[in-house]
Amino acid sequence: MAEEKNNLHLGAGMVYFDPFDADGERTGEIYLGNSPGFAVGLTSQQTDVFDADAARESLIKRIERQVEGAATLTIDNVDDDTLRFFLAGEEADIAQAATPVVDEDVEAVQKGRWYQLGVTDANPHGVLKVSAVAVTSEDGGTTYSASDDYTLNADLGRIYIKPGGAIADDADLHVDYTPEARTVEVMRSRSQTYTEGLLRYIEDNTDGADRIWVMPNAELTPSGEAALKSRETPTQLTFTVRAKSTASQRPIYVANQ
């Protein structure tokens, strides 16, 4: 009678990522949230050496120069951590002081368009939560009406030039306002597209033995696009994972629970 082996695997589990700091040290594992997909494989870089002296060349030796782990990961938990990894981002919080701003230039405005206050190279989002807003002509001779000439969104720090108002196309304006004192949490993408760290997958399978998969030296790289707008399908963040070998560690380790 033939031996039967039916170790079926119907997989589930949780994925964690431990980003390295600037010195390559672990900083603590972050649970990435619901992950509908996680697939693992191996890749290698090889050099084939063929017999060059015989009439028909034959393979003398296959030299495997490097073996790496590879994985694809899909996450539908979109929080600050996963979005930071998807953007290969870093935190760059901006302190917004409650210092009154006088005569900020808003140049060559057009009717029917929005203008964000407080935009600079260092702060492309502009200011949020403004009060004491006054809009005047560049020479200060005309003060425009918030009810007739423009609309103010004070929470977002934006003004809209009303088509039927007294502000003419191509007019240069001065705007006075006072921002609310606060720290604006900002995330910005880095110059590199991947984040280095340790990746851990702890299985909690529907069927099959549970294992723990670890990639000690992984690069988490965003893959494809994030569909930010849909009423039917939740946004998913997809990543490719490169698990590297080092002088002291292999690319992938698997332990039975």
- How far out from the chain centre does Cα 35 lie? 16
Question: What is the DSSP pairing of strand 211-222 with strand 130-137?
Answer: unpaired
Do you know the residue count of the chain? 257
Structure tokens of 254? 């698997």
pLDDT band with cut points at 50, 70 and 90 for residue 43: confident
pLDDT at 2: 67
**Which has more confidence, 235 or 190?**
235
3-state secondary structure of 82: helix
Buried b (16+ CB within 10 A) or exposed e, 119-148: eeeeeeebbbbbeebebebeeeeeebeeee
Residue pLDDT, tens place only, 238-250: 999 999 988 899 9
pLDDT band with cut points at 50, 70 and 90 for residue 130: very high
- Report whether pLDDT(54) > 80: no
Residue pLDDT, tens place only, 88-128: 877 778 899 999 999 999 999 999 999 999 999 888 889 99
In 3D space, the residue among 189, 191, 195 whose CA is nearest the CA of residue 240 turns out to be 195
pLDDT at 168: 96
pLDDT at 3: 75
- Going along the chain from its start, the domains and CATH numbers come out as 13-52+59-90+188-256 (2.30.110), 94-184 (2.60.40)
Residue 145 CA to residue 80 CA, distance in Å, equals 39
- Report whether pLDDT(1) > 70: no
Residue 89 gets the label, from left (phi > 0), alpha (psi -120 to 50) or beta, of beta
Task: Report CA-CA distances (Å) from 67 to 26, 217, 249, 251.
Answer: 23, 13, 12, 8
Are 147 and 108 contacting, i.e. CB atoms less than 8 angstroms apart? Answer: no
pLDDT band with cut points at 50, 70 and 90 for residue 205: very high
Residue pLDDT, tens place only, 65-79: 667 889 999 999 999
The Cβ of residue 6 has, within 10 Å, a number of other Cβ atoms equal to 4
